[in-house]
Amino acid sequence: MSAFWHWFVVIITLVFIAAMVWLFVATGKARVPSGTNKEGEETTGHVWDDDLTELNNPMPRWWLWLFYGTVIFSLIYLALYPGLGNFAGALGWSSSGQYAEERAAADADFQARFGELAQLPLEELAHHPDALRVGRNIFAHNCSTCHGSDARGARGYPNLTNNHWIWGGEVDQVWHSVYHGREAVMPGFGGALDDQDVTRTAVFVQQLAGQQVDSAMAAAGRRHYDMLCAACHGSDGTGNPMLGAPDLTAGVFIYGGTMDAIRYTIRNGRNGVMPAQRDLLGEARSRFVTAYVLSLNAENNGSSNGSGDD
Ligand code: HEC
Ligand code: HEC
């Protein structure tokens, strides 16, 4: 925080504590008695309704000391821990530091329990019940937000169970996708193609995907495709996993296969990002979760169930 807010917090905190001390001192003192009631007890001199008087009894000592105790506690606390503006406290404690420590402890524990198992080749892990149990757990906590709890994806997030891979389904390729992440770059062609040409090209994409389309439109679209798109998606449309350019002939679209969705893709481009797990999960956890993803495809071999395919 800026110097102004630093001092603002420091001063307001200290003034408040000083005011508390003053309040305790003031209320803790026995007041000078200035009267007696009918029973002869000392009163503060205040009288209500003719005969209601206030006895001159200061707060019990132990009660007062309790309040002083809270003041002393807060001063010690503010000296040791962060609280006074930018002052870090004598102990140098921070919530992120504590988080890092707890995380390191959790990592060490994980390493101790699963470190050895994690070293098995991914092909083996993908069939190892313990590894898959751990991997499923990691997936639920770190991947399902985007890919869905059943890993079937959603619009913009690929289905990981259908054997249709954007970046390749070989063990090494899936590992790369998870551990190093992926950034897809599909440029937009709204500048190069007018609306009609965008539509024609989209019709050709639908033809590639096996849909029934107007063949004259598709033939016109093919010319644009050969010129602008084939470099990445291949002249036969089967894509290029090196570039993350999807196979357009599979009938599986992560952004949707409707006319509108394809036109939008062509006009504006797409930039899907798979976050690298290297620094997020670390190596051992990434291996388990990759094994889990591989196992999903072994289970569902052959069924190509496209999410977002509408
Ligand atoms: C520079 C390489 C490149 C060029 C050129 C290119 N694309 Fe793409 N295309 C990609 C990549 C990479 C993706 C994946 C984007 C993503 O996943 O976010 C993609 C995605 C798509 C998709 C979405 C597929 C889905 O699963 O929803 C369609 C449709 C598409 N491209 C069609 C075209 C057409 C038509 C052209 C030519 C007008 C074209 N692309 C030109 C690289 C390219
Ligand atoms: C913030 C959202 C997000 C999270 C979290 C996420 N992913 Fe992804 N993932 C994506 C996107 C988007 C793509 C597609 C990138 C593209 O458009 O090419 C992707 C692609 C992939 C691919 C490649 C798919 C293919 O068809 O080649 C794999 C494998 C994958 N993710 C696994 C995982 C695993 C395992 C986790 C958890 C550790 C995870 N993802 C977490 C968004 C996410």
Kindly report, residue by residue over 128-142, the tens digit of the pLDDT: 999 999 999 999 999
Angle at 118 between CA 112 and CA 123, to 5 degrees: 165
For the record, the structure tokens of 278 come out as: 């290297």
Calpha distance 88→189 (Å, rounded): 53
Give the model's pLDDT for residue 305.
41
Q: Report the residue among 195, 201, 265, 304 best suited for mutation to probe ligand 1: largest number of ligand atoms under 8 A from its CB.
A: 265
Give the count of beta carbons closer than 10 Å to the beta carbon of residue 151: 23
Among candidates 243, 275, 262, 247, which has minimal Cα distance to 164?
247
Q: Write down the pLDDT at residue 302.
A: 45
Q: How far apart are the first and last CA of the chain?
A: 50
Atom of ligand 2 minimally distant from the CA of 174? 29
Structure-token match 């399902």, residue found: 144
* Ligand 1 within 6 A of CB of 266: yes
Q: Give the model's pLDDT for residue 301.
A: 55
d(C-alpha 16, C-alpha 83), whole Å: 14
Q: What is the pLDDT of residue 308?
A: 40
pLDDT at 309: 39
CA-based radius of gyration for the chain = 35
Weakly modelled stretches of the chain, pLDDT under 50: 302-310
Do 154 and 148 contact (CB within 8 A), yes or no? yes
- What's the pLDDT at 30? 65
